[in-house]
A and B are shown apart, each in its own frame.
Chain A
Amino acid sequence: MCGIVGLFIKNPALESQLGALVAPMLSEMTERGPDSAGIAVYRNPQEDGCKITVLAQQQDFDWNTLEAAISNHFSLRNITVTRNHAVLCLDSEIEDVQDWMSDNWSDLSITSAGTNIEIFKGKGNPAEFIDQFDIKSMTGTHALGHTRMATESAITTEHSHPFSTGQDLCLVHNGSLSNHNRLRETLRKKGVQFKTDNDSEVAAGYLSWRLSEGDDLDQALNHAIEDLDGFYTFAIGTRDGFAVMRDPIGCKPAIMAETDDWAAMSSEYRAIATLPGAENARIWEPEPTQIYSWKRS
């Protein structure tokens, strides 16, 4: 069992409250996933530049050394450190930064890359995570969150969701995949890299691979229905919005709701009930294998 929440702001006046709106949703999903929590937030777009989120294995990592080193190689706009995460905004080509990071900083991992996305995650109770990362004060256009109850692999920050699936893309998953070991080996042969033995990371890697093969998101998800065996409700964050898809049996729950001000999805209605105007929202349950997406126009 896990909990998923997603919130897409339609009324720009609410963008300043994105974190304040999403934090109670995440908190409400604690019982579905008390092991760890994570969030992908889309904000502060870096025009003509890039943004990466870096996760340090040590809580007391000295970010000054990274800042000094990266400034020697790249044009760093700014670095924002929150506990063991840092968001770096740069003028450089994102692939160059990613290559340099993986060549030189083995104890750091990149959890997100793009122009808008930032990903934060940590093991422990979602309430602690919300406080530690000050989720309530986050502003932005949309966010996806996850609370994890681990069923098939260890409880670590690296095993926590969301998983990056490409530039400004991420995945959160409720369910379990049964063919992830074989699929991971197949994808490794195609050059996809994995950091953990987690099944959801395989789904993320699969989507990354399909997208790199030229699929658009809908095509990648339709291929996923063929190639992923197991149960899933996926929510996929994109630069402009997010998409939701359930497995063909529709085993894992999902509920969606929309008002003039926002569109939201969650594993359960009680997370959506925390939003203003939820009681009068249009509410529906997504059909199996149908892709639902919201996009900024």
Chain B
Amino acid sequence: MTEINLDKSSVRDLNVELQGGSSGDKFSVNNTVGKHALSVGLTTAVNVEINGHVGYYCAGMNQQANIVINGNAGPGLAENMMSGEVRITGNASQYAAATAHGGLLVIEGDSSSRCGISMKGVNIVVGGSIGHMSAFMAQSGCLVVCGDAGDALGDSIYEAKIYVRGNVKSLGTDCIEKEMRDEHKAELKELLMQSKMNHGVEEFRRYGSARKLYNFDIDQVDDY
């Protein structure tokens, strides 16, 4: 375990060291005091434990790495993540996992507005509730919410799937409640297990696109 103390190391030093790690290496990062862009651009399967609250864009562009944050995060957590796993024990601010292509983001607390905006394949599991305009223009991947969702959930959504256990304040344009078929139950069960959320699949409802807004015909999906 390599310990990096941000009292002594700069953010750039930290990121250079983490990016240079080999698969399986373990790092712990301390004295974060809300600093921005911690543990970004990692491309190997290192394990990073960050102790304390972090600022903007923590774990951005993550590939393969397993990052745990013991604290809260500012805007843009795991923005544009490609793969790997990011877990935060506290809350995450606006646009968590925005535009993210893959991997798993687990937020044990709440997430605020625009969670999963324009998500492109990432899976997001939120233990608490999410704010307004979440999954706006979400293209693919799953957003699982164990608490409630704010206004305009899934506005202009494409083919991402949303599972919500609590109440949805309002659905956005072209987002509708959909039937929970067996394949969805299996997918949700797997995500709840991976993220260690202890809820039954039957407690959730599924939401997705009514497919009336975008110029795309699902019957011709193979042509695209």
Contact = CB atoms under 8 A, between A and B. Distances in A.
Interface in B149-165: none
Given A270-B33, A272-B34, A250 B132 contact: yes
A269 B132 contact: no
A287 B132 CA distance: 10
Contact of A285 (B35, B36, B93, B133): B93
A253 B112 CA distance: 11
A268 B74 contact: yes
Contact of A279 (B52, B91, B94): B52
B132 A288 contact: yes
B113 A269 contact: no
A150 interface: no
Nearest to A271: B34
A285 B112 contact: yes
Interface in A245-283: 249-250, 253, 255, 268-274, 279, 283
> Interface centre among B36, B53, B56, B91, by most A CB within 10 Å?
B53
Interface string B109-140: 00011000000000000000001110000000
B60 interface: no
Given A285-B91, A285-B93, A288-B132, A269 B53 contact: yes
B33 A273 contact: yes
B110 to A, nearest CB: 8
Contacts of B33: 270, 273-274
B53 A279 contact: yes
Contacts of B93: 253, 255, 285
Contact of A283 (B53, B55, B132): B53
Contacts of A288: 113, 132
Contacts of B55: 268-270
A273 B72 CA distance: 12
B75 interface: yes
Given A283-B72, A285-B112, A273 B131 contact: no
Nearest to B54: A269
Given A268-B74, A283-B72, A250 B53 contact: no
A288 B75 CA distance: 15
A285 B113 CA distance: 10
Contacts of A255: 74, 93
Contacts of A272: 34
Interface in B50-83: 52-53, 55-56, 72, 74-75
Contact of B113 (A250, A271, A273, A274): A250
A271 B224 CA distance: 48
Nearest to A273: B33
Contacts of A271: 34
A270 B132 contact: no
A283 B52 CA distance: 13
Interface in B11-28: none
Contact of A270 (B35, B75, B91, B133): B35
Contacts of A284: 91
Given A253-B94, A268-B55, A287-B131, 17 more contacts: A249-B132, A250-B94, A250-B112, A250-B113, A269-B34, A269-B53, A269-B55, A269-B72, A270-B33, A270-B34, A270-B55, A273-B33, A273-B34, A274-B33, A279-B53, A283-B91, A285-B91
Interface of B: 33-36, 52-53, 55-56, 72, 74-75, 91, 93-94, 112-113, 131-133
25 contacts: A249-B132, A249-B133, A250-B112, A250-B113, A250-B131, A253-B74, A253-B75, A253-B94, A255-B74, A255-B93, A268-B34, A268-B56, A268-B74, A269-B34, A269-B53, A270-B33, A270-B34, A270-B36, A272-B34, A273-B34, A283-B53, A283-B72, A285-B93, A288-B113, A288-B132
